[in-house]
Amino acid sequence: MSRVYNFSAGPAVLPEEVLQSAADEMLDYNGTGMSVMEMSHRSKAFEKIITEAEADIRELMNIPDNYKVLFLQGGASQQFAMIPMNLMKNKVADYIVTGQWAKKAYQEASKYGKVNKIASSEDKTFTYIPDCSDLPISEDADYVYICENNTIYGTKFKELPNTKGKTLVADISSCFLSEPIDVSKYGIVYGGVQKNVGPAGMVIVIIREDLITEDVLPGTPTMLTYKTHADAKSLYNTPPAYGIYICGKVFKWLKAMGGLEVMKERNEKKAKILYDFLDQSKLFKGTVVAKDRSLMNVPFVTGDEEMDAKFVKEAKEAGLENLKGHRTVGGMRASIYNAMPIEGVEALVAFMKKFEEENL
Ligand code: PMP
């Protein structure tokens, strides 16, 4: 067996221990004589899996008691609609647009009410995070929306915006569980799990209880109402059961690693190796304003499209996979999520050094 270093932005690398443990349990989960894929979501065995998964994520993220944790389907994109449908009581929301995912969320919400783009970094191809300390927050805004880590552009909010008392909603898909956050600062924090947490097909929504109501926009489907899932403890219908099981294993892996403070230190160390190299390189350069750099997604370019393509091709041959930048921006991007070992980043930098020597 030979595994590559996989720098994919998502679906992405998972901890080997988790994959191995799932493989060991594939045919017979814990003496049940069946795989988790084959068992009823109402069985005792699955009930234990989902209960433990919730307890573990609560512990890892220090989630206050007045928040619900929902394991849902539809990916992060479904939340782009679910959030306005459930939260728009005044039919007004403020969006900070720092990349394509925030823009898509903004466009989707615009179908349901008056949506204001109160800040944007589109003027410089989303290479920075705008100053959000004193934005024109709407008096009657139901919430203020951000995408906290911008997967495509490699920027991250280092400070949360000043929402002037309004509910903050954040997409944390690409920085989920990469460092501690203060959940109490958000009304909703959510993420697709296929980057830092588990297999695709599932989104985790952490939502303050007072935001879970029957007072949703007329016509909101039952399945898109938070209350449906909160009341049924994510078992209103068949949940993404295998995904929940793998996420649960990742939570246990994170706890064994020492929790989110330790992951943050590890992630800072990994990102520094790559950014330090980029900052002195004569061939490669990072594309993001230094203070807004993401710990998870690191875009870089040579400035020459042919050279970029050569790099991606030769890196792949050297076992460094999925380094091509997003199709809309080009260049390269290394996603270095929790499960990317430090050796992977060191191997990438060693390869970049060699490539630079050969091509300058
Ligand atoms: N938000 C962010 C920050 C993302 O990176 C992505 C996916 N790359 C999405 C939302 C959309 O996720 P999904 O494909 O799960 O709908």
Residue type, 79: Q
Cα–Cα distance measured from residue 353 to residue 360, given in angstroms and rounded to the nearest whole number? 11
Q: Are the C-beta atoms of residues 97 and 119 closer than 8 Å to each other?
A: yes
Q: Is the CB of 171 under 6 A from ligand 1?
A: yes
Structural domain 260-359, CATH architecture = Alpha-Beta Complex (3.90)
**Fold agreement (16-257, 260-359):** no
- Who contacts 285 (Cβ-Cβ below 8 Å, separation ≥6)? 278, 300, 301, 302, 303
Helix spans in the chain (H):
16-24, 44-61, 75-87, 100-109, 226-231, 241-257, 260-280, 305-317, 342-359
Angle at 51 between CA 49 and CA 55, to 5 degrees: 115
What are the residues facing 145 on neighbouring strands?
Answer: 95, 169
Low-confidence ranges of the chain (pLDDT < 50): none
Q: Is the CB of 308 under 6 A from ligand 1?
A: no
ipTM value, please give it.
0.99
Q: Is the CB of 135 under 6 A from ligand 1?
A: no
Q: Is the CB of 147 under 6 A from ligand 1?
A: yes
DSSP 8-state symbol, 286: E
With 0-12 / 13-18 / 19 or more C-beta atoms within 10 angstroms meaning exposed / middle / buried, residue 300 is buried
- Who contacts 223 (Cβ-Cβ below 8 Å, separation ≥6)? 236, 237
| Active-site option among 195, 227, 249, 252 | 195
Cα–Cα distance measured from residue 27 to residue 40, given in angstroms and rounded to the nearest whole number? 15
Q: Which atom of ligand 1 is nearest to the CA of 104?
A: 10
Q: Which atom of ligand 1 is nearest to the CA of 78?
A: 16
Helices 305-317/342-359 angle, 10° precision: 130
Spell out a b/e string for 218-244, using b for 16 or more CB atoms within 10 Å of the CB, else e. eebeeebbbbbbbeebbbbeebbbbbb
Mutate to test the pocket of ligand 1, among 72, 73, 77 (most ligand atoms within 8 A of CB): 77
101 annotated active-site? yes
Class in CATH terms, 16-257: alpha beta
| Active-site option among 56, 94, 142, 171 | 171
Helix, strand, coil proportions of the chain in percent (round to 5)? 40, 15, 45
Residue 266: what pLDDT? 98
CA 235–ligand 1 middle distance (angstroms): 23
Q: Is the CB of 173 under 6 A from ligand 1?
A: yes
Cα–Cα distance measured from residue 348 to residue 345, given in angstroms and rounded to the nearest whole number? 5
Q: Which residues are annotated as a binding site for L-glutamate?
A: 42
Q: Which atom of ligand 1 is nearest to the CA of 172?
A: 3
Whether the model clears a pTM of 0.95, i.e. scores above it, the answer is yes
Residue 55: what pLDDT? 98
Classify the C-alpha dihedral 75-78-84-87 as positive or negative. Answer: negative
195 annotated active-site? yes
Q: Are the C-beta atoms of residues 202 and 247 closer than 8 Å to each other?
A: yes
CA 224–ligand 1 middle distance (angstroms): 18
With 0-12 / 13-18 / 19 or more C-beta atoms within 10 angstroms meaning exposed / middle / buried, residue 34 is middle
Residue type, 320: L
Residue type, 264: K
Domain boundaries, the chain: 16-257, 260-359
Residue 122: what pLDDT? 97
Cα–Cα distance measured from residue 190 to residue 229, given in angstroms and rounded to the nearest whole number? 14
What is the residue whose two structure tokens read 């068992």? 39
**Other Cβ atoms closer than 10 A to 262:** 12
Q: Is the CB of 196 under 6 A from ligand 1?
A: no
Residue 2: what pLDDT? 86
* 199-213: pLDDT as tens digits: 999 999 999 999 999
Cα–Cα distance measured from residue 346 to residue 348, given in angstroms and rounded to the nearest whole number? 5
Q: Is the CB of 192 under 6 A from ligand 1?
A: yes
Residue 328: what pLDDT? 80
Cα–Cα distance measured from residue 145 to residue 163, given in angstroms and rounded to the nearest whole number? 9
Q: Are the C-beta atoms of residues 167 and 125 closer than 8 Å to each other?
A: no
